């Protein structure tokens, strides 16, 4: 596998600084945050390390040169919006920008971009399905035509009242993945699998690898801790942030040895991108960098 990180946590670094930092600290790759240039609407979003809006072959060459110089590959382009937003304009921006990432990934020759399916969070999965069937087949076809793979992250995007009750991304469980892959069998659609989202959903984040291993195109390494004393107060019908805490790898409930044990057995050999969303490690740039370095050190026990 190739160990790296998602660049969204260091918005204060330029692309070159990101790659240089990664190379100096021994990472093999970075997933580049590619939000549209502008203001972030939520934490960990709105970062632009690569502006794909008007990305050209020349831009691609320059970026690839930087990669060669620093010895760091781009594991994928990342942009996590809500393409099924009930706000039609927001959805349209998301869809259009996803295409830009696909184009850029193709130009860069890395053929991997990561995103969300999206969801109208006030509607049930079934109620969202028609819209899914409208939006996603053409998007996947667009990617397939350019030989790019889409990695859908399995985050429910449900944290607080703002996303109650369904969250902003349909693709959060194996049952839904199965339905999704049956509707769109193209190999251009796969997963950017993050085991931490299964922790608070109380699902087995290891056994699932056996069935979906071939569809896992990218991995996020984040951890999460169930806070039992908080859960005992509110139960699972409460907002997820009321009973769990995102943490750095090694500081949560995931048994990473068990995770990589089966991940290696199902033949995964792709990128593992550390995603820092641990509030105890936010703040100054040095602290966030230290968080990435510590996470890398932890994961190197299991990843070569």
The footprint of a copy of itself (CB under 8 A) covers 124, 126, 156, 158, 161, 164-167, 172-175, 198, 200-204, 207-208, 225, 228-229, 231-238, 245, 247, 250-252, 257-258, 260-261, 264-265, 267, 278-281, 290-291, 293-294, 297-298, 300-304
Minimum CB separation from a copy of itself for residue 77, in Å? 27
Complex with a copy of itself: residue 93 or 203, whichever CB lies closer: 203
Complex with a copy of itself: residue 88 or 304, whichever CB lies closer: 304
Q: Which residue, 246, 249, 245, is CA-closest to 297?
A: 249
Q: 3-class DSSP state for residue 154? A: coil
On the question of a cis peptide bond just before residue 65, with omega within 30 degrees of 0, the verdict is no
Complex with a copy of itself: residue 46 or 174, whichever CB lies closer: 174
Complex with a copy of itself: residue 100 or 247, whichever CB lies closer: 247
Complex with a copy of itself: residue 62 or 287, whichever CB lies closer: 287
The CA-to-CA distance between both ends of the chain, in Å, stands at 7
Q: Which residue, 4, 85, 100, 109, is CA-closest to 48?
A: 100
Q: Which residue, 297, 211, 282, is CA-closest to 246?
A: 282
Minimum CB separation from a copy of itself for residue 265, in Å? 5
Contacts of 95 (CB under 8 A, 6+ apart): 83, 135, 139
Residues comprising the chain, all counted: 304
* Sign of the torsion formed by the C-alpha atoms of 94, 17, 2 and 286: negative
- Are residues 263 and 292 in contact, defined by beta-carbon separation less than 8 angstroms? no
* CA–CA distance, 228 with 253 (Å, rounded to integer): 12
Helix axes 174-183, 125-145, angle to 10 degrees: 50
* CA–CA distance, 55 with 32 (Å, rounded to integer): 14
- Reading phi first (left if > 0) and then psi (alpha if -120 to 50, else beta), residue 18 is in alpha
Complex with a copy of itself: residue 37 or 236, whichever CB lies closer: 236
User: Residue 286 CB: number of other CB atoms within 10 A?
Assistant: 8
Complex with a copy of itself: residue 54 or 284, whichever CB lies closer: 284
Complex with a copy of itself: residue 68 or 280, whichever CB lies closer: 280
* CA–CA distance, 76 with 108 (Å, rounded to integer): 10
């Amino acid at each position: 596998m190739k160990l790296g990180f998602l660049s969204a946590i260091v918005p204060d670094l330029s692309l070159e600084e990101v790659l240089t930092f990664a190379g100096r600290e021994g990472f093999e790759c970075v997933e580049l945050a590619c939000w549209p240039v502008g203001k972030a609407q939520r934490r960990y979003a709105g970062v632009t390390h690569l502006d794909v809006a008007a990305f050209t072959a020349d831009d691609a060459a320059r970026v690839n040169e930087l990669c060669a110089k620093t010895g760091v590959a781009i594991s994928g382009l990342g942009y996590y919006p809500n393409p099924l937003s009930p706000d039609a304009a927001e959805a349209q921006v998301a869809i259009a920008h996803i295409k830009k990432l696909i184009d850029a990934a193709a130009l860069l020759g890395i053929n991997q971009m990561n995103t969300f399916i999206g969801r109208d969070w006030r509607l049930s999965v079934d109620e969202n399905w028609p819209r899914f069937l409208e939006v996603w087949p053409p998007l996947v076809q667009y990617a397939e035509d350019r030989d790019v793979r889409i990695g859908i992250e399995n985050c429910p995007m449900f944290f607080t009242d703002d996303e109650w009750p369904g969250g902003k991304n349909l693709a959060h469980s194996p049952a839904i993945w199965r339905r999704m892959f049956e509707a769109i069998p193209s190999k251009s659609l796969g997963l950017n699998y993050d085991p931490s989202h299964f922790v608070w959903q109380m699902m087995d984040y290891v056994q699932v690898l056996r069935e979906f291993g071939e569809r896992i195109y990218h991995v996020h390494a984040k951890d999460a801790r169930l806070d039992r004393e908080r859960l005992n107060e509110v139960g699972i019908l409460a907002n997820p942030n009321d009973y769990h805490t995102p943490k750095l790898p090694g500081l949560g409930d995931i048994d990473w040895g068990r995770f990589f044990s089966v991940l290696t057995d199902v033949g995964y050999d792709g990128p593992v991108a550390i995603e820092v969303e641990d509030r105890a490690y936010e703040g100054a740039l040095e602290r966030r960098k230290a968080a990435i370095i510590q996470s890398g050190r932890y994961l190197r026990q299991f990843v070569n």
